[in-house]
Amino acid sequence: MNQQKQKIKNINQIVKKNILNLIPYQSARLLYKNNINNKILLNANESPIISLFSINNRILNRYPEQQPKKLLNAYSKYINLNNENILITRGADEGIDIIMRTFCEEHDKILFCPPTYDMYRVTANILNIKYLIIFSIKDNWKINFNKIKKNLKNIKIIYFCNPNNPTGNILNQNDIIKLLELTKNKTIIVIDEAYIEFCIDQTMIYFINKYENLIILRTLSKAFGLAGLRCGFILTNKYIINILLKVIAPYPISIPVLDVAIQALNKQNLIIMNNNVKTIINNKKWLIDKLNNCNCVKKIFTSTTNFILVKFNNSNNILNSLNKNNIIVRNQNHEKTLNNCLRITIGTFDECKKLYFILQKIS
């Protein structure tokens, strides 16, 4: 055995076995490693509209507050919820992680309902936490409430993405409320509202003080167009917030992130954000209308988000043709129930036109 192989073997003996066997989250940038310049990126559910902010606070020799009051106040005002119900995190992904680390012990399990955001599975695997998968009902993607109800033993956390990624649908609020009632004092229900600004009337934020087992995740990555900022929020009752404060990193939010996030939440920029949401929704309506005329399209699933899930007659051919034309979308063929499906982020109007033109040519 050569020296390099021996080194690898030695390290592998030290690394946790679940990490050695881990299939990591396949981020959009990880999946597409080529030069992204001059490409139309419709694969990561980012906003196509650039947010322009400047860093005002350039004093970086001091640590920030663990939970900066200015940002808590700004987000509190935006969502009309008390500061004591908010925890600032490094994106919603950190929220997924610290909730699991806070509540799960060795014998516990989490539950989630594919097709959905894969970080629930990946985080559980990293933390060596068991999980139960209950697939959503195919075609309408509703949660299988009856099956979940029968499988709650040792389930400590249930994760729902609402609206769901990659399907784009809204979950039935009555089903979630029934689960909250059913799991009182037993199970935490986490609602990941990363895309909620595209259908704000569907938020469950108003149930936070009614159900002590409800946690909501939010982010500035999607509608706010700040995916590169990595700023998210956990919303729940003050008792859970105080427990999570024991687990979160001592300085999770950097001063530049704090600076930009506060600017994004001022009155003027909230108007801009809401106008951008309207623009993206109008682009989506236009694109769906056009795609319904393409012979290569088999089905477009109902979407309340900034992306659409489209089933094609042959998704691999479509994917290759789009790649050749510098349009990058997200392949969903790896999902058990999403054969021949591609997830397409809604871009600018020009980007939507270019996408339609290529698909029309293929048809």
Looking at residue 58, what is its pLDDT?
Answer: 84
Ranges in the chain, pLDDT < 70: 1, 28-33, 35
The CA distance from 43 to 320, in Å, is 14
| Region at 12 (left for phi over 0; alpha for psi -120 to 50; beta for the rest) | alpha
The CA distance from 288 to 222, in Å, is 20
Return the closest-CA partner of residue 98 out of 6, 236, 287, 229: 236
The predicted-structure confidence for 8-36, as pLDDT tens digits, reads as follows 888 888 988 888 888 888 776 666 667 67
Tell me the pTM.
Answer: 0.94
Write the CB contacts of 351 (distance below 8 Å, at least 6 apart in sequence).
40, 42, 48, 327
- Name the residue ranges covered by the structural domains of the chain: 18-49+269-362, 69-266
Looking at residue 186, what is its pLDDT?
Answer: 95
Looking at residue 29, what is its pLDDT?
Answer: 65
Looking at residue 31, what is its pLDDT?
Answer: 64
Looking at residue 30, what is its pLDDT?
Answer: 67
Looking at residue 9, what is its pLDDT?
Answer: 83
Topology of domain 69-266, per CATH?
Answer: Aspartate Aminotransferase; domain 2 (3.40.640)
Looking at residue 33, what is its pLDDT?
Answer: 63
- Contact predicate 189/160, CB 8 Å: yes
The CA distance from 231 to 183, in Å, is 30
- Where is 145: in which H helix or E strand? helix 145-149
- Contact predicate 232/241, CB 8 Å: no
> What amino acid is encoded at 315 in this protein?
S
Which CATH number, 3.20.190.10, 3.90.1150.10, 3.40.50.2300, 3.60.150.10, labels domain 18-49+269-362?
3.90.1150.10
> What amino acid is encoded at 267 in this protein?
K
